Every structure is written in structure tokens, then in C-alpha cells.
Structure 1
Amino acid sequence: MVIENNRKKAREAEKKVFNERLKEVTDNFKAKTAEYVDAKILRPKYAPKINAIVSNFFVVQAHTEENLNQLETVSEQFTRAVGTELGKSRITGNKDLLAEQLQYFVAELPSSGIAYNKDFYHEILPALIALIKTPDVSVEALSDSESVDQETDTQEQNNDSNDDQNNQTEQQMTAARQRLTTS
């Protein structure tokens, strides 16, 4: 009887730690989403769809340590990518491009909770996050007009490699969507 009670207490303690981590991830993600709305790179009406990424994670997935780690990973990837792009947009003065990219990102998110499944979080979402990213901006290039001309040539070469990466990402997304529709 004592052993049974100890096991029960241990399970409850593990569950409490798990739920605290989940709440922390969810709260941090939603706070970042609110920051994006305040920065005017995300329209307020899109915030709930972005927040659905964390809210719907356990709709069709088991409450396991591995899944919680995946949620932490993808939420961090998203917030890091958007934060980096926001920094770039402040340097270039082009927040509209980032706002447009986020609008396209939101349009690609599933409309039903059941679609937020393992394939979505392991394949589709990372590919969507990769599409938010833009080529790096050189601060020196912005201050020196000659460097801007040289940077344009370099960016054209980088854009070719980014196009290859985007094509590969789009192929991965297409394959993942096909798997989702056939399952």
C-alpha cells in the first residue's frame, strides 16, 4: 500500500513538472506572438492562428516527454526565425516584407485541430518556418553605396542557392501534405 502511494505521488509529480513546462512554452510563445502584433508585423486577427501552433500540439499527440521536447524545439525555431527577421527588417526598414511573409505563413497553417499532427510538427512546420527566412543583410553594405552594388551581385548568387533551398523545402512540404491527405 505504501509503495502504491509513493508511485502515485511520483506520477503526479512528473505530470505536474510536464504541465509546468507545457504552460511555460505556451505562455512564452503567446507572449512573442503579442510582441509581433505590437511590432505591426502580424495582424491581430492572425495571432490566434499562430497561437494554435502551441495550443493544438497535443490534440492528436500523446503527452510524452519526446513530444514536449518537439514542441519546445519548433516553438523556439519559429520565435527565433521571426525575431531574426524582425531585426533584419528594422535594419532595412522593410517591415512590410516580413508582415507579408507571416501572412503567407498563416495561410499555410491547418484550419482544423486534427491536422496539427506529428507530420505537421516534424516536417511541414519546419519547412514553413524556413520560408520566413530571408538572405542576411550586411550592415556595412547599407552604409557604403559601393558595397551595395557588390552586395547585390553577391545576393544574386546567394539567391540562386536560396532558390535551390526553397525548392527543396517546397518539395518537402508537398510530400508531407501528400502524406497527410493519404493518411
Structure 2
Amino acid sequence: MAGDSSSTPAPAPAPPTPTTGPTATWGTQHFDKAPTAGELAQQSQQSAQSTSSPTSQKQTATVSDAVKSIKPNDFLTVYQIPCARTGFLTGIGGGAAIGGLRYILGASIPKAANWAVGAFAAGSIIAFEACQASRRAEAAKMKRVVEVYDRKQAELQQQKAQKAREVAAAALQEKMRLEEEARAAKRWYKFW
């Protein structure tokens, strides 16, 4: 009988939950949905393991590792990356202008094309990084604005609470004064 209970098949794992649209991912991070409890637990275990073992070797990223991490789907979703459009358009315009100018000034077609490609790459990278820097600056500015707004709201709440306490204290004093006057009016004796 004991052998029969051990031969029961294990339950099948649940299929992954389908997403409704394209999932913007980088590594294991999902940006279109909140992480699940299992993902959070796994991340905390990994961070605990990495901090608890100081003798573990640091992995260095190589170009081949970076190339292996590129998936064909990444090329289909490149337009979703913030600032990619700005970078590409600036690179295309700059590359066409520099390549055309080099050709007009007498360079051969291959040489002008090389200049165009180089200008495209440089212009794209510079425009992308400038856009990212402005986004980071704007995010920091928005964070400061939210902090100031939250601080002002807290101050307003404190002021309202203080006014409410003052009004309550004034009402209590008035009530006590009225009660004292009522008690004084009910005395059975009067001196004058």
C-alpha cells in the first residue's frame, strides 16, 4: 500500500499567466506589471546570497555575453525605449548631412558613406544620452516638487489640526464659563 501512494503523479505546474500586450523587459524585470511575491522572494534571496558571500567572484560582463543577451524581439520593441526616437532621428539627419557634405567636398562615395555612418553613430549616441540626462533631471525635479507638495500638505494639516484644537479649547472654556454663570445664578443666597 505504501508503494501505491508514492506512485501518484505530482501535480503539473501552473502555466504562465499570459500578458495582454508586449512586455517591456530588460533581464528579469517587468515594467508593465508589478512583480509577483515569488519574484520578490527570489530577488531578495539573490541579493542576500551576493552580500553574504564576500569571497564570491565578481562576474565581468563581456561583449559576447552582451551579444548573447540580445533577442530578436528586442529589435521589434526598440521604439518603446525612451529617447530612442530622438536619438535615431538626430543620428539619421546628422549622418546624412555629414555624408552629403563630405561627398560634395570631393570625397569618394565609400569615404563619404563611412563619414555618414560615423556621424550617424555619434549623433545617435550623443542625442540619446542628452535626452536621457534631461529625463533624469526632470525626474529629480518632479521628485523635489512632490516632496515640497507633501511637506506643504503636512504643514496645512498641522495648521488645521492646531486651529481645530484652539477652537475646541475656546469652546470648552466658553462652556465652562456658561456653566459657572448658570451655577452662580442658581445659588439660593445673594449678597446684594
Q: Shorter-chain TM-score: which interval?
A: under 0.3
Higher relative contact order (CA 8 A, sep 6+): 1
TM-score relative to the length of structure 2 = 0.21
Structure having the larger proportion of residues in helix: 1
TM-score relative to the length of structure 1 = 0.22
